[in-house]
């Protein structure tokens, strides 16, 4: 269904790696990875290191993403960085990551404002959605996905939707070592596309890029990448090591339609 689309592999470094480590990592990863037309590799370092990495990065090889930003463009918001300030530095921005929702209490309203701010500033938002363990055990997974999609995309037109990437990250799988089974992820990705179809029509449902994140490792990556409903991965822990991240990227390439090998 989605094999002709580029795979997306995002490394979310969270609050790890200082400026020097980040620069060394980028150098090492660029030695390990060839430029691929069929895989978009995106690094999401801390805000602190974004600007210096933006000067170092070869954009044909990697893109950059912010892990967070504030939705207003400028003003008296102590400690915040806006999408307007990130414009030209990043090409993507994570929005509504479960750690933002659950540790920093971001609401669907905040998230919907951030999706709109990213698009207004020519940054592709990666809208993260997913249920908690409690919601899962109560059979609420699909309701949560629906609510978070409707909430996050509330101000987004059909034209703007083409800029949006959706990342399905069940909260119980993030950083726990307990990854969701591929069959479970496949069903969730279908439900996400079904909801997008309901909101924006069948063409949008087919073309939107849907990623999975949650305790993905070198060993589990290929199983997800072979799912026709899925367009890539959002990786935390396994992206902190340039070697393991490069191995996952290579699997995305090998699993793609061109069949080119290393
Ligand atoms: P882990 O891969 O460490 O579970 O993190 C997933 C994640 O939160 C990526 O955004």
Q: What is the pLDDT of residues 103-137, one digit of tens each?
A: 999 999 999 999 999 999 999 999 999 999 999 99
Q: Which domains does the chain have, with CATH numbers?
A: 7-255 (3.20.20.70)
Cα–Cα separations (whole angstroms), residue 146 to 35, 126, 134:
36, 16, 17
CA of 174 to the centre of ligand 1 (A): 5
Asked if 62 and 13 count as a contact pair (C-beta separation under 8 A), the reply is: no
**Active-site amino acid positions:** 97, 169
Report which ligand 1 atom has the smallest distance to the Cα of 167. 10
183's enclosing H/E stretch is helix 182-200
Per-residue model confidence as pLDDT tens digits over 4-50: 689 999 999 999 999 999 999 999 999 999 888 899 999 999 999 99
Both structure tokens of 149: 């999609």
Report which ligand 1 atom has the smallest distance to the Cα of 179. 4
Per-residue model confidence as pLDDT tens digits over 38-92: 999 999 999 999 999 999 999 999 999 999 999 999 999 999 999 999 999 999 9
Largest CA distance in the chain: 51
Answer yes or no: pTM beyond 0.85: yes
DSSP string, 35-57: --SSEEEEEE--HHHHHHHHHH-
């Amino acid at each position: 269904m989605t094999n002709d689309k580029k795979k997306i592999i995002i490394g979310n470094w969270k609050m790890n790696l200082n400026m020097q480590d980040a620069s060394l990592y980028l150098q090492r990863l660029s030695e390990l990875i060839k430029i691929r037309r069929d895989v978009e590799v995106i690094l999401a370092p801390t805000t602190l290191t974004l600007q210096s990495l933006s000067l170092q990065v070869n954009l044909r090889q990697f893109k950059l993403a912010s892990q967070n930003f504030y939705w207003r463009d400028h003003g008296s918001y102590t400690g915040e960085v806006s999408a307007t300030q990130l414009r030209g530095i990043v090409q993507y921005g994570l929005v509504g990551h479960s750690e933002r929702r659950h540790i920093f209490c971001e609401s669907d309203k905040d998230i919907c404002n951030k999706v709109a701010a990213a698009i207004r500033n020519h940054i592709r938002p990666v809208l993260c959605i997913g249920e908690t363990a409690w919601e899962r055990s109560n059979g609420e997974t699909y309701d949560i996905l629906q609510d978070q999609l409707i909430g996050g995309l509330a101000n987004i037109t059909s034209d703007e939707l083409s800029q949006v990437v959706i990342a399905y990250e069940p909260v119980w799988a993030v950083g726990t070592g307990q990854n969701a089974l591929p069959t479970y992820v496949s069903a969730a990705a279908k439900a996400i596309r079904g909801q997008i179809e309901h909101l924006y029509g069948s063409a949008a449902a087919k073309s939107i890029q849907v990623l999975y994140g949650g305790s993905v490792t070198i060993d589990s990556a290929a199983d997800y990448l072979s799912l026709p409903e899925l367009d890539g991965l959002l990786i935390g822990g396994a992206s902190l090591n340039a070697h393991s991240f490069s191995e996952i990227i290579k699997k995305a390439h090998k699993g793609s339609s061109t069949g080119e090998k290393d």
